[in-house]
Amino acid sequence: MSQPRTIIDKLWSAHEILRRDDGESLLWVDRHYVHEGSFHAFAKLAARGAKVAEPQLTFAVTDHYMPTRRPRGEIDNPELARMVRQLEENTAANGVKLFGPDDPRQGIVHVVGPEQGLTLPGLLIVCGDSHTSTHGALGAYAFGIGASEVAHVLMTQTIWQKKPKTMRVTIDGVTAPGVSAKDIVLAIIAHIGADGATGCALEFAGAAIRALSIEGRLTLCNMSIEAGARCGIVAPDAATFSYLEGRPYAPKGAELDRAMESWSKLNTDSDAPFERDVTLEAKNIAPIVTWGTSPEDALPIDASVPDPARESNAARAAHWRDALAYMGLTAGKRLSEIAIDRVFIGSCTNARIEDLRAAAAVLAGRSSKVPGLVSAGSSLVKQQAEQEGLDRVFREAGLQWGESGCSMCVGLNGDLVASGERCASTTNRNFRGRQGPGARTHLMSPAMVAAAAVTGYLTDVRDLLVDQKV
């Protein structure tokens, strides 16, 4: 009998072409996503007089450098404008499909891929962006690659990789009302640390994970990188199949039936071994916010800022001291007493229709005490939100309704948090300067950001949901 295998083992085996003596394997790539930052890789192709090997398997998106608070053609920075133009030229020269500035399907690559049905169970997907792990939510083996690797994939449709270790995080039970996928993943990162899954392919399992929508699973896998993982994955199930049905690039009819039969075998065998196994109880997870400069600096909203003087681990205490100094916080201050200066709802982590609905449900009939920006994850999400009237809710609350793109998550095109300002944000990273030089970022769910907007402080959204239907 064959040894039980994890879903990672199965996907690796299905894509491994050959293995070298040093342990590196050559893998076939099913989908290659590129964006504006790929110009270095295309330049390498041009220098060799080469073309993209499999243009029909390569898809491009303009997202990082797209303005979200002004017309698409108005990119103030000439260098950023040049990179957008280069992507248009490079894709045209190589016959690669581009979801560009004028395409009604444009958006953030990690939103567009699943939305268009390009991301499918069982595929190996790469992109020159660390949050490519997002696509694992649909049962794909997806990970970010570097600039030289992007060139290699463009030229060969293959990539050299060393098989990662395997890790599983199981969330058992049922989450409480007001607790979202963002809270779950922040709780995981706080528990295992920002390096807790380093070098691992991370599978998410358990009843609480299965109960998540596909949008929630996309959030989960998106932030697996913030725990140090190489990629994150959720085994496909009926929810996955339902999500994909009818999407433009997904299989249809009898082909879809055959695909679903194959996809249903993509799961971890009973008793398959993992290098590390972690289990958390869903009932113990509360709405969470970050207080420091790493996603692991996360606590339930009813907690207080930790005290470095009470931390026995010297390295951790030093990190806490530095984080508190940068964030302008004092030990012992209740998180709910921290005032914010602005809010941002967007990014590849939390800018899908479900995220916008959750935020709008809290903001409906209320006003924001601080300025803020809402940027949908794609033009199609923006269109759907407008059809549902969500844009009116945000505007009436006093927030700006922007275009789709990476926006304030990466602090480009003037979508910045000013130095010293504190932002409640649905993004994935609270690193120093991530949203602008000197910016102070608190990560949380869309509903929690909406709650912070209403009160002007980090706030437990559950207190605002008592009389609000979500």
Distance (Å, whole) CA 237 – CA 251 = 16
Distance (Å, whole) CA 444 – CA 335 = 12
H helices present in 245-364, as ranges: 254-263, 314-327, 353-363
pTM (2 decimals)?
0.96
Q: How many CA atoms lie within 13 A of 14 on its CB side?
A: 19
CATH match of 7-276 with 3.40.50.1820 = no
Per-residue pLDDT tens over the stretch 69-106: 888 777 888 888 999 999 999 999 999 999 999 999 99
List C-alpha distances in Å: 31 to 42, 57, 127, 157: 17, 5, 9, 9
Is the per-residue pLDDT at 176 higher than 80? yes
- Percent of residues, the chain, with pLDDT higher than 70: 99
Distance (Å, whole) CA 128 – CA 34 = 7
Indicate the average pLDDT of the chain. Answer: 96
List C-alpha distances in Å: 65 to 97, 133, 274: 18, 21, 39
Structure confidence at residue 470 (pLDDT):
40
Structure confidence at residue 465 (pLDDT):
85
- Percent of residues, the chain, with pLDDT higher than 90: 94
Per-residue pLDDT tens over the stretch 336-382: 999 999 999 999 999 999 999 999 999 999 999 999 999 999 999 99
Name residue 129's amino acid: D
Is the per-residue pLDDT at 1 higher than 70? no
Per-residue pLDDT tens over the stretch 408-466: 999 887 889 999 999 999 999 999 999 999 999 999 999 999 999 999 999 999 999 87
Is the per-residue pLDDT at 313 higher than 80? yes
> What phi and psi values does residue 318 have, to the nearest 5 degrees?
-65, -40
Please, what sign has the CA dihedral across residues 46, 49, 55, 57?
negative
Q: How many CA atoms lie within 13 A of 180 on its CB side?
A: 26
Structure confidence at residue 212 (pLDDT):
98
Structure confidence at residue 468 (pLDDT):
57
Per-residue pLDDT tens over the stretch 318-343: 999 999 999 999 999 999 999 999 99
- The mean pLDDT value for 308-319 works out to 97
Q: What is the CA radius of gyration of the chain?
A: 22
Tokens representing 104 are 């009604």
Tokens representing 422 are 């504190």
Same-fold call for 7-276 versus 288-463: yes
Give DSSP secondary structure letters for 23-92. SEEEEE-SEEEE-GGGHHHHHHHHHHT---S-GGGEEEE--TT--SSS-TT--S-HHHHHHHHHHHHHHH
- Looking at domain 288-463, its CATH superfamily turns out to be Aconitase, domain 3 (3.30.499.10)
End-to-end CA, the chain: 50
Q: For the chain, give every domain's residue range.
A: 7-276, 288-463
List C-alpha distances in Å: 26 to 21, 152, 159, 466: 12, 11, 6, 54
Is the per-residue pLDDT at 199 higher than 90? yes
Name residue 257's amino acid: D
DSSP-derived secondary structure letter, 457: B
Give DSSP secondary structure letters for 191-223. HH-TTTTTTEEEEEESHHHHTS-HHHHHHHHHG
